[in-house]
A and B are shown apart, each in its own frame.
Chain A
């Protein structure tokens, strides 16, 4: 017993050192940056708006992780691929032919809707296939097994789509009507960022309505609460789980569309990093909670866009923007270690953590 106590103390000490070091980096960096003040107010506003736009995408992807986790208590490692598949396929097969035909420039709204619809449908199809083939047969297996099939499915889809549409970065066609900026308060905001934030808001409100008011949404909540009881109440559990995957994938499809509009390019490997970051966002907000995913996504987007300039620059780190992803990953690691229940979430039961 004493031996064990000594061990724990040592490890707790170690963790406290890690905490203190991180807090020190953030504090020292921030104070130094504020004192030296290398940016104008305008720069900071740009950072913030870009952060919100980026965070909106993370929020949409994070919802897929959160929904599936809520229902199956499993991390859907392949979710980033649902995000990639929809927009990658619909860019190659819909957006580029439309742009070549000139229809995209002349009728941007119907074409964008068409591209978004294709992106959503393909993401849904991929998610349903993955769920049916790789997850459903292992629902009662040890937890390691569905995780491994998820990793396998993730690689399979990446290289499958690479085979279909090629390994190069495909530029998403430019839409003249979305170029340029609009005035907002006393600053200028990119039109594409406004569109991203607006679409995210609409989609999130729609999702909230779907989950809380409609029958299928109630079924999802019931299954998340207790599968056996839900089945006794006449809910088709398998179908509801498929519906959960489809809902998450639809969000990922929308996020993919927004990603293409902001970054103007798609790639077969594009799902990996946003996938992990969105998972971070889901954990930040408390995995299993939909508002949590939205808040977490926003927080992560802001943190990532402000972080390098705010904490790292004044510490004299060369090329500090290279470390943008390190910030997100460090945050992931720290949150999982210190607060797996998330920043706003309640304490998870031991079996879930």
Chain B
């Protein structure tokens, strides 16, 4: 009987259930079908296969990792059981879909999905069953490989996967920067060719393995510098890189970078409100909208334009107006905390959106038709039309905002915000004026958002109320949480992951918000401090761990 006790049937049953539900879900909600045509390696395997084999492999890996060292064979047995049961569930799924009209209810269970799941074999789910068992065993086996080798293999696989996913863009870049022969030697029809993929995988794994063993990459390159000098050199290098970036990236990628920049800008603002001051603001998009509409009203040459100012004159006005709106909206909500504040700000955001859409405001801001004919920024006689030119405007904005947020964070005000975030009552007892401190956070955060909105309006040339919905607020909130609350580099990483990646994986757009939801929940559960945590938050969140260990 101790065999069954070791097997821990209850836990295994739970894992079986979870894996089956995930695998069924990615198929039934249409993700698998959507990614079915997205090859990672030409003619060999697609994103879809990663989606429906991945969960089984991952949970098999976890099951083996969790079994104690002396019982690895038991772990492998668990992996096998997992593969067999998920395989049987999926087998039944395929059978049901082939024999009944499930599609009239679940619209995404299409013949094409079944084709993908059965690897184009007409027979049914047998191939799928065998492949799933294979995936489970592979995942289990990976867990038994020594750590260094395993890390190397995983890194190699992820790099190959990433390059495969981004093939379309990478091949275009290679073609325009180098030669089309080079590009077609590596990529074909939007995916990696087999041989380059193997070379890439081997190289990445080998380098990572050797680095871990300490054979290469530990020696210092370049002359020894004092820390202050090193900092100057680093800053200079980064600035140079950022200045030439649009030339390396080309038009499309620069446009993506611009979007990342705008969201980073908003993220920096919200980071002050949520990350530093701890005030959860879900109506943040309102200030973005106010900035954009102010810019539109001041500069537009259409019939709704008021002043036909130049971009550069209007810009500070937009920031000021947005900051003032932050102050006004901040005042009534001063006495609120936590979730009440979140709901009230959400209400504000919705009110502003509905008003912008309504006929009441139509004579001033155009209702659903929005404001058109917003001119581009001018430098002398040159209008900044191309994304490569707009890039520099956004870069300047981001640079100013980054400088400001770093200075503010490290100043006395930043410390007051953090004190308030920790405990309002104690902060007040320490002589911090809560009213001023909160209002300042709202105002500065709103100003950043207004700056982003103003640039956004000018970049697009026309704005509509539909661009300013709750999803923007959620997007900005997600990116600062994923990056790490209170952390400025974290915000940048969050913006790159949450704004940049979806633009590059365009099939992904339909499931973007689903993925955000999963990301928010898993981040809070497993890594609440974010990918690049701020030191203070990390200490705070893990203070309990040490206490537990000590006690």
Which B18-39 residues have a C-beta within 8 angstroms of A? 25, 28-31
Interface centre among B31, B108, B350, B518, by most chain A C-beta atoms within 10 angstroms, is B350
Whether B347 lies near A329 (C-beta < 8 A) is yes
State whether A155 touches B332 (Cβ < 8 A). Answer: no
Q: Is the CB of A325 within 8 A of B331?
A: no
Inter-chain contact A319/B360, CB cutoff 8 Å: yes
- Interface status of A185 (Cβ within 8 A of chain B): no
Chain B interface mostly: helix
Which residues from 386 to 435 on chain B have a C-beta closer than 8 Å to any C-beta of chain A?
A: 433, 435
Q: How far is the CA of A322 from the CA of B361 in the complex (A)?
A: 11
B347 pairs with A160, CB closer than 8 A: no
Contact of B513 among A134, A138, A155 (CB under 8 A): A155
For A333, the chain B residues whose CB sits under 8 A away are 332, 344, 347-348, 351
Binds A, one of B148-156, B265-273, B519-527: B519-527
Do the beta carbons of A151 and B474 come within 8 Å of each other?
yes
Binds A, one of B129-137, B292-300, B335-343: B335-343
- A4 at interface by CB-CB < 8 Å: yes
- B333 contact set on A, CB distance < 8 A: 337
A101 to chain B, nearest CB (A): 12
> Please, which residue of chain A has its CB at the minimum distance from the CB of B329?
A333
Task: Known A75-B339, A159-B513, A325-B354; judge A149-B521 contact (CB<8 A).
Answer: yes
Partner of B517, one of A75, A154, A330, A337: A154
Give the residues in chain A near B238, CB-CB below 8 Å: none
A12-71 interface (Cβ within 8 A of B): 14-15, 18
A337 to B343, CA, bound (A): 11
B514 CB within 8 Å of chain A: yes
Q: How far is the CA of A101 from the CA of B170 in the complex (A)?
A: 53
List, in ascending order, chain A residues with CB within 8 A of B477's CB.
Answer: 148, 151
Known: A11-B331, A152-B520. A74 touches B106 (CB 8 A): no
Contact check, B435 vs A11: say whether CB atoms are below 8 A apart: yes
User: Which B residues are in CB contact (< 8 Å) with A160?
Assistant: 25, 29, 514
Report whether A326 and B355 are in contact in the complex, using a CB–CB cutoff of 8 Å.
Answer: yes
- Give every chain A residue within 8 A of B518 (Cβ-Cβ): 152, 156
Inter-chain contacts of A353 with B (CB < 8 A):
335-337, 340
The answer on a CB contact under 8 Å between B343 and A163 is no
For the complex formed, measure the closest distance between the CB of A343 and the CB atoms of chain B, giving whole angstroms: 16
Q: Which residues of A contact B342 (CB under 8 A)?
A: 75, 77, 147
**Residue ID in chain B nearest A11 by CB atoms:** B331
Q: Which one, B29, B358, B520, contacts A151 given CB within 8 A?
A: B520
Q: With A141-B528, A276-B346 known to touch, is A152 a contact of B517 (CB < 8 Å)?
A: yes
Query: Is B359 in the interface zone, CB < 8 Å from A?
Result: yes
| Minimum distance in angstroms from B468 CB to a CB of chain A | 15
Contact residues of A between 257 and 272, Cβ < 8 Å to B: none
Q: Is the CB of A8 within 8 A of B435?
A: yes
- The smallest C-beta distance from A22 to any residue of chain B, in angstroms, reads 12
**CB of A83 within 8 Å of the partner chain:** no
User: From A161, which residue of chain B is reached at the shortest CB distance?
Assistant: B29
Known: A276-B343, A337-B333, A353-B336. A149 touches B106 (CB 8 A): no
Contact B433 A3 (CB under 8 A): yes
CB distance from A28 to the nearest CB of B (A): 16
Contact flags (1/0) for A310-353 with B, using CB distance below 8 Å?
00000001110011011001101100110010000000000001
Contacts of B105 in A (CB 8 A): 92-93, 96-97, 165
A159 to chain B, nearest CB (A): 4
Q: Are B511 and A323 in contact (CB under 8 A)?
A: no
A341–B95 Cα distance when bound, in Å, is 56
CB distance from B10 to the nearest CB of A (A): 15
Chain B residues within CB distance 8 Å of chain A: 25, 28-31, 104-108, 274, 278, 280, 282, 331-340, 342-344, 346-348, 350-351, 354-355, 357-360, 362, 433, 435-436, 474, 477, 481, 511, 513-514, 516-521, 524-525, 528
Beyond contacts A151-B477, A158-B517: 11 other A-B pairs, Cβ-Cβ < 8 A, are: A75-B340, A96-B105, A146-B524, A148-B520, A153-B521, A156-B521, A163-B29, A166-B108, A276-B347, A329-B348, A353-B340
Question: Which 5 A-B pairs give the minimum distances between C-beta atoms?
Answer: A163-B29, A152-B520, A156-B517, A155-B517, A159-B514
Write 14 A-B pairs (CB below 8 A) sorted by A numbering: A11-B334, A75-B343, A149-B525, A156-B517, A156-B521, A318-B362, A319-B360, A323-B354, A326-B351, A326-B354, A329-B350, A332-B347, A333-B332, A353-B336
